[in-house]
Amino acid sequence: MFEKYNVEQKLDLHYRYPVVFTENLFSKSNGELKQFFKDQGANQSIRLLCIVDENLLEGNPKLIQEVEEYFSEEGMPALVSTPILLKGGEALKSRFDIVNELYSAVAEYNICRHSYIMGIGGGTLMDIAGYVAATSHRGVRMLRVPTTVLAQSDAALGVKTSMNFDGKKNFVGTFTPPNGVFCDIALLDSLPEEHYLPGYSEAVKVAILQDEPFLKEIEDLSKDIISREREGSLHVIAKCAELHLKHIATSGDPFEFGSSRPLDFGHWAAHKLEQMSDFKMTHGESVAFGVALDVTYSYLVGKLSEESWRRCMEAFKGLKFELYHPLMEKSLNEPENPESMLHGLEEFRQHLGGRLTVMLIDEIGSGYEVDTMDMTILKDAVLTLKEY
């Protein structure tokens, strides 16, 4: 009676979006956004709500005016209001009251599924703006203009939106591809020092894990990066972005339905340290600690040569990263204590859904996965980093 009515539903979704690198995106002579909206067939009847990271304004006092002038030109969508200002930072990601205010703005300004939200700012602003775009009307169009090294090379390029809930990082969110990403390299000039160099840790991470020649380039360009020479910075950021995007596109699992998360290399400790520091540590700094730890572990278990291990450590040092932090040693003999960094491994296992998968390396550019880590060797790794 029933069998004949059963259906296997098959849905195939195809997303395409451009990731563009440029400088001075909102100067009148810059054609990138004009070309994008032309390709999309947009015009003044299409609406755009702009959300800007307040942190940008000190270094770029004319940004709002430039955005408003840019969108006043013919062929561009209509800016529905002066840009909404939000102060980026981890605290923003707990602000569901701001999510509600943004929903109200979406309603008030008639932002529909064919309208755009444009977020201009760092990773946290992109997370909340992307979340609002993903969940308003079941998804309005989203354009990302990431303005930090980390956001341009990694965090803002991909398919994740997120909020923190009840103290739990990224507990609420969606997988939602944006409609376009526009990285303005000139906006990095005004980044404060503590948000500039640490942003390169994702580039070092992906080079160590996947691409030895890229690590060589980072080593060669480290002085240019430190002196904020644009062409060298652009090369490293864009190359990191390319590797990140390629991974998402070719992994066969862009929305992470499975367990394998190679780009989470070093992240079990990184997330935990970030949280233990009450987010005073930046994500970039914590990734360097986490990657250094798992590289050192790879060396101590005899998989990675001493020479390659030293080279990884020096690559981080060349960009002025610290490789050891006192929090790494907290409750080091109590991996079951939630106050220990080592407890991050158990939290990562839960996050993955019960089966632990940790990426290690047996050579620079070559990763392998394990499903368990030796606590004694992990402690050795911490002490090795302390003495380095």
In the bound complex, what is the minimum distance in angstroms from residue 185's beta carbon to a second copy?
8
Sign of CA dihedral 250, 274, 294, 353: negative
Geometric angle at alpha carbon 273, from 270 and 127, rounded to 5° = 65
Check residue 280 for interaction with a second copy (CB under 8 A). no
Q: CB atoms < 10 A from the CB of 102, how many?
A: 24
17: contact with a second copy by CB under 8 A:
yes
Task: By CB under 8 A, tell whether 8 contacts a second copy.
Answer: yes
The interface with a second copy within residues 182-211 (CB under 8 A) comprises none
Figure out which of the listed residues 122, 130, 146, 173 binds a second copy, where binding follows CB under 8 A: 173
Q: Quick one: tokens of 204?
A: 């070092």
Which helix (H) or strand (E) element contains residue 145? Answer: strand 141-146
- Is 41 a binder of a second copy (CB under 8 A)? no
- For residues 269 and 290, the answer to whether their CB atoms sit within 8 Å is yes
Determine if 13 is a binding residue for a second copy (CB under 8 A). yes
Number of residues forming the site for a second copy (CB under 8 A): 72
Decide: is 114 part of the binding site for a second copy (CB under 8 A).
Answer: yes
Q: How far is CA 198 from the centre of its chain?
A: 13
**One residue of 117, 134, 188, 281 binding a second copy per CB under 8 A:** 134
Q: Does 248 bind a second copy (CB under 8 A)?
A: yes
Nearer to a second copy, 192 or 257 (CB): 257
Residues 19, 89 contacting (CB under 8 angstroms): no
Residue type for 317, please?
K
Is residue 281 classed exposed, middle or buried when 0-12, 13-18 and 19+ CB atoms within 10 A define those classes? buried
Nearest distance, CB of residue 44 and a second copy, angstroms: 11
Interacting span for a second copy (CB under 8 A) from 68-76, 234-242, 268-276, 305-313: 234-242
110 binds a second copy (CB under 8 A): yes
Measured from the CB atom, is 185 or 327 closer to a second copy? 185
